Amino acid sequence: MKKVHNFTAGPCVLPQEAIDKTIEALKDFKGTGVPVISISHRTKEWESVMDECRSLWRELLNIPEDYEILFLHGGASMGFLYVAMNFLEKKAGYLETGVWAKKALKEAKGLGEAYAVASSADKTFCYIPKDYEIPSDLDYFHITTNNTIYGTEIRYDMDCPVPLIADMSSDIMSRPVDVSKYAMIYGGAQKNVGPAGVTFAIVRRDILGKVSRYIPTMLDLRTHVEGKSMFNTPPVFAIFVMNETLKWLKSIGGVEAIHKINVQKAELLYGEIDRNPLFVGTAAKEDRSIMNVCFVMAPGYEHLQDEFMAFAKERGMTGIKGHRSVGGFRASIYNACPLESVQALVDCMKEFEQLKK
């Protein structure tokens, strides 16, 4: 069978170890004789998975004890509403760095006063805004740390005069994070830490219960804290795969180790984009994402786009088509994407260059 190199933007590449463990659990979960997709979430066997998964999150990211770790439904898109519903009282500020940041801001505007403190929309979100001031009268400041569509990333933990909330859907666990600098971190699991179907949230307890509005039960984060993420039936399959993915991450040295690998992969691919006359990167070099590498055909070679896409597909590259809103190419090199696959894509680009000389 032809080797496939998966660069899709999500659902993500998963480690083979996690896939193999999941296959076993689909047949028999922890010796119960019941497949994991049919197990009751009220059994001690399942509760042990929930406990282990929370423990792995806390260990891998050094999450302080005054933070709750939640496993929720609805994806980061529901997270946009969780944030505004639970924390917007008077006014909130957002850093507008792409499509998902804009959507998060839209949800907040539906509940109160919210605005973009800074935006990179003027240059099609190809950079991260700088030299802006965060007003001290905000209820919170919201950022999207990695922008999958445009390939930019905030790779540092900023100092913030108000509670800082971050959507880290596509770069969580890819680099060390100082969780103590954030009031809340949330995101969909399907980029780096598991399959689609579960949303993670890391929230500091002391910021809950501060708004005066009525919060519907399912949108109140306190509901899920009190219910230990099992107020209603949790997405057991997705959480199981997440747990196995985090066990794999721990086994290879944790977040610090995977960050070094991620940087190596990104430098390899960006290096070829910058060297190869047929291609050009689309994100500002100082803001390039180590998770989503976006590029296009260089000026004068635009007519070769479809030909290169077919050429790459023939050689086992899948998922490199850019988002429909921007076109071009995008290689998502999440945690479990091996260096071997990145090297294969680089070799493919070099081979195509030789053919077109």
The CATH number assigned to the domain holding 156 equals: 3.40.640.10
> pLDDT by residue (tens digit) across 258-287?
999 999 999 999 999 999 999 999 999 999
Same domain, 148 and 258: no
- pLDDT band of 357, cuts 50, 70, 90: confident
Would 11 be classed as within a structural domain? no
Q: Report pLDDT for 320.
A: 96
SS3 63: coil
Q: Report pLDDT for 149.
A: 95
Same domain, 157 and 145: yes
Tell me how far apart the terminal alpha carbons of the chain are, to the nearest angstrom: 31
With left for phi above 0 and alpha for psi between -120 and 50, is residue 253 left, alpha or beta?
A: left
Residue 5 tokens, joined: 């190199």
Same domain, 188 and 337: no
Strand partners, 200: 71, 187
| Residue 1 reports pLDDT greater than 70 | no
Q: Report pLDDT for 309.
A: 97
Same domain, 173 and 207: yes
Same domain, 161 and 268: no
Strand partners, 288: 152
**Looking at 187, 216, 251, which one is the last position of a domain?**
251
Q: What is the mean pLDDT of the chain?
A: 96
Same domain, 124 and 138: yes
- Residue 329 in contact with residue 304, Cβ under 8 Å? no
**Angle in degrees, 0-180, between the axes of helices 254-275 and 44-61, rounded to the nearest 10:** 60
Same domain, 100 and 241: yes
**Looking at 207, 233, 251, which one is the last position of a domain?**
251
> pLDDT by residue (tens digit) across 214-268?
999 999 999 999 999 999 999 999 999 999 999 999 999 999 999 999 999 999 9
- Residue 343 in contact with residue 268, Cβ under 8 Å? yes
Report in angstroms the alpha-carbon separations of 40 from 22, 29, 232, 234, 244. Answer: 17, 11, 12, 10, 19
* Active-site annotation, residues: 100, 167, 191
Q: How many CA atoms lie within 13 A of 283 on its CB side?
A: 27
| Amino acid of residue 37 | I
Would 6 be classed as within a structural domain? no
Would 9 be classed as within a structural domain? no
> pLDDT by residue (tens digit) across 12-60?
899 999 999 999 999 999 999 999 999 999 999 999 999 999 999 999 9
Would 2 be classed as within a structural domain? no
d(CA 353, CA 339): 21
Same domain, 258 and 285: yes
The total number of structural domains that make up the chain: 2
**Looking at 251, 282, 311, which one is the last position of a domain?**
251
Same domain, 240 and 313: no
- Residue 303's domain comprises 254-356
| Residue 356 reports pLDDT greater than 90 | no
Same domain, 184 and 300: no
- pLDDT band of 170, cuts 50, 70, 90: very high
Would 155 be classed as within a structural domain? yes
Q: Report pLDDT for 256.
A: 98
- Is residue 87 exposed (0-12), middle (13-18) or buried (19+ Cβ within 10 Å)? buried
Would 181 be classed as within a structural domain? yes
Would 7 be classed as within a structural domain? no
What percent of the chain shows pLDDT beyond 70? Answer: 99
Report in angstroms the alpha-carbon separations of 163 from 24, 96, 296. Answer: 43, 17, 37
Q: What is the CATH number of the domain that holds 315?
A: 3.90.1150.10
d(CA 313, CA 92): 44
The model carries a pTM of 0.97
Same domain, 346 and 267: yes
Mean pLDDT in residue range 187-202:
97
Cis-peptide, bond into residue 235, ω within 30° of zero: no
Residue 336 tokens, joined: 């479990």
Q: Report pLDDT for 182.
A: 98
- Residue 278 in contact with residue 352, Cβ under 8 Å? yes
Alpha helices, H only, the chain: 16-27, 44-61, 75-87, 99-109, 221-226, 236-251, 254-275, 305-314, 339-356
Same domain, 146 and 234: yes
Strand partners, 150: none
Would 62 be classed as within a structural domain? yes
Q: Report pLDDT for 327.
A: 84
Residue 306 tokens, joined: 């479809």
> pLDDT by residue (tens digit) across 132-166?
999 999 999 999 999 999 999 999 999 999 999 99
Q: Report pLDDT for 273.
A: 98
